[in-house]
Structure 1
């Protein structure tokens, strides 16, 4: 039997470009290992930070080195270069690809944009479609859907860039409202960024003002959430219409909160799998994770994050990540490894789920 040709799509235009390369390296290794080597042919496709798509030797080099690669600014005659970053890639350039495995983190990668393009190309792809991806990226839309689904969460307030920048008379009143509704500490987040980029924990009026201004530089929509004293639990979900939940894991860290540096610096955070919680709490987390997955119309994979408030026994959903980090040390594959599914088997299942859907 001929091998299934898998287009591994990585890089991208977001601030998580380097993380995407690391995830792609792990997936590429899995596709070439164990039984996968006889089932799949790997075809890497790299998206430069300026949006140009590259395949062939150049993409292979990026995957091997783990370092972003930049072509000279002048025009090139390379056959590996898809001509214009301002145009959609010509599907005929990738006609040999039978299923796509996009591992593009952040905006322009997991927010529904690339999923829409792949849908137009009429080729199966791993992960959620346009709706699930868009909702999974937009924290405000996500929370509204969670609310409709009856999932408990922290108090929050939506803010727009215009409220922060356009009218100096509105801004003090806005800060008054946030203080009255949410109090301190609270978290200020851009609505559409991943990996904790642009997020600030604030404890005073001056910190709130600075954080709002900073978040507005990243996104026109901002969310402010009440802080809670809680343990951070995570659960992985795998499947399409009948998804399954993994064991529950816990993240602990010494920093003030789980920011970008803590996430991607070795030794900054500890993962405990399974989490040391009661069976009742673990089952509640699993049930809520699957419910959230179905509520946003996710597919293939997702990691769902929770707050566990031990004092009250509450489990509060934080967010769903429809394209989580996929390095060998990332929480998503580790949760499934603890649930009895190896990294290479997990990659195989995801490709099969894409073909099934």
Structure 2
């Protein structure tokens, strides 16, 4: 590795959130780039055993949000890649309160540290297309300049709006720093491990009765490519990152060889309970609204600026299917449990409606 870095390429790159799936893979990719002198990973916790080998060559520093300022200053960082975001309350001990503390307060403290870092010249921030929200008033396609039609219900989407607001303030104060915000569509692919991939990997998939939203994904490897280019090249601004084209939810479920379980929309929050009953995990309001309304974004700005076109949504989803070849559907016992859970949810909704004044 070149100890001095390559002209035009950051010498010291700090990556937050390296104990998680995305952060570990990004750090590993940057370490493999001989143009970068040092890659330092910041996180308050250790990585899972399966991620630890990816961090060979990454200098790891245990630091929470409160200590990140002194760490970035001591490292004389040239670039910071901020990936330490929690996308769902169940990913963080302490629920929604801890999630907001990590996402919003943690980003505020990180940006304050970046503002005081004299050598810093590049900031890359992970964002999400959840910033656009999801409602029946949405346009068919969002561009980077589209404003949300309504305040999102989900905690992660609201956090994203706050984070992007703080980044805009940072840009005004540090115009000398190239600040890049990447609004990623949901990750998919044979290696991706997210709430969404677990949703499609389960034998029975909760859906909304009468709804068939249009969905858009980005292949995990393409997300890594865009993040890498954002570090070694200069791309100031905000960019949608997604694969071209769409898949209806019904199409995606059929292609994955799964069984859809329609839920009445007023009782959709009960889908989380059904999933828990069947042992499939939980879904927050961000995912629920996505499965009701869908979301599609325009990626022309990314393609033109980066000279890179992510593979299509359909191709990315096909790679996910190849990586999850088990197409076994529910057996009779689990199907009976699913049907019973659905009927119980419908009865609860009807009872709640009858009790309203």
Bigger strand share: 1
Bigger helix share: 2
The normalised TM-score by structure 1 is: 0.36
The normalised TM-score by structure 2 is: 0.36
Higher relative contact order (CA 8 A, sep 6+): 1
